[in-house]
Every structure is written in structure tokens, then in C-alpha cells.
Amino acid sequence: MRWNEIVVRPADQSEFNLAGDVAVAAFSRLRPLLPEGNWPVMAKGIHFTTAEDSVGRLFVAVLGGEILGSVRYTGPGHGGHIIYPDSFAYIRAVAVSQAYARCGVGRKLTQACIDAALEDRAEAVGLHVAVANEAARNLYGKMGFEPYRDAPDYFGIPYTAYAIRFRESE
């Protein structure tokens, strides 16, 4: 795989369901950490966030027509989120096919969201990640994200919120 051949772009509506399937498969790595019975609920939520949610934009990473991963980006002015104020952009469901994990796809998807947040003149861009997902937390730290606040548990596992601040609140 050639890094420079991976294209991150807004998803076409026709790609939403496939991106949702890729995301569910990617998040299945968390399944062993979930309390009994929570995986079907989490899988449905991940697929909804990726494929059906009308809040924000879905970006996909593509190589030769294959969807390698996706991310849902929501710009500032979203009306508020349980974790992020209205002045923040936020990132949800960064997902990379297991076949392409640790190949830079997650970095490219996350960078596309950082670029969108800057273009949207957000105060900051935030994301939340499972505490147990050490690889993702390390990546986000290398990209400049810093701990922002505790996040609620999702599906029975602890999460932490991170943010990159572009400017102080007004």
C-alpha cells in the first residue's frame, strides 16, 4: 500500500452502509471488554453513527475503490453535545479496517477532521476514545490532542475526551 495513494474524501451516500460495516468490524476489537450483551447495542450504534446519522459529515479513506476506514465529523454550531460545547467541532467513530490498522489510515482520517475544524473556525476539535484503546490514544497524543475531560462510559467501558485547542473561548 502506498500512503500517498490513500484518498480521504466526503463519502457518497451510496457508501454509507459499507462504511458502517467496516466501522462495526473495526470496533469489534472492543467486544471482549464489553459487559455481556452490550456488543449488539454497540454495533448498532456504531453503524448508525457511521451510516445513518444526519449530524455532521462522513469522511472515508479509499484506496483503489476500497473503503479502508471512515470517520464522522461534526463542525461547531452543532447545538451542544454531552461532552463538547457548541464552539467545538468533534470527531466520532474513527474506524479503520483491521487489514489496514497501523498503516496511517486513522491518522489521515483524523487529520481530515482537524483540517475541517480549522476551516470551520472551531475553537477546538474534540474526540473521545475508550481508555483501553491504547493505540488510538497514542496516535491522538502524537497528533496534538490533549486530555480534555472525562467522558461518560459508553456501552459499559470507560472513555476519555481529548481536544486540540485552536484558540481560547470567547
- Per residue in 63-97, pLDDT (tens digit) is 988 999 999 999 999 877 889 999 999 999 999 99
Predicted TM-score (pTM) of this structure: 0.92
What pLDDT band is residue 53 in, cutting at 50, 70 and 90? confident
Q: List b or e across 125-154, with b for residues whose CB sees 16 or more CB atoms inside 10 angstroms.
A: bbbbbbeebeebbebbeeeebeebeebeee
* Per-residue model confidence (pLDDT) at position 42: 93
**The pLDDT value given to residue 62:** 96
- Binned at pLDDT 50, 70 and 90, residue 52 comes out as confident
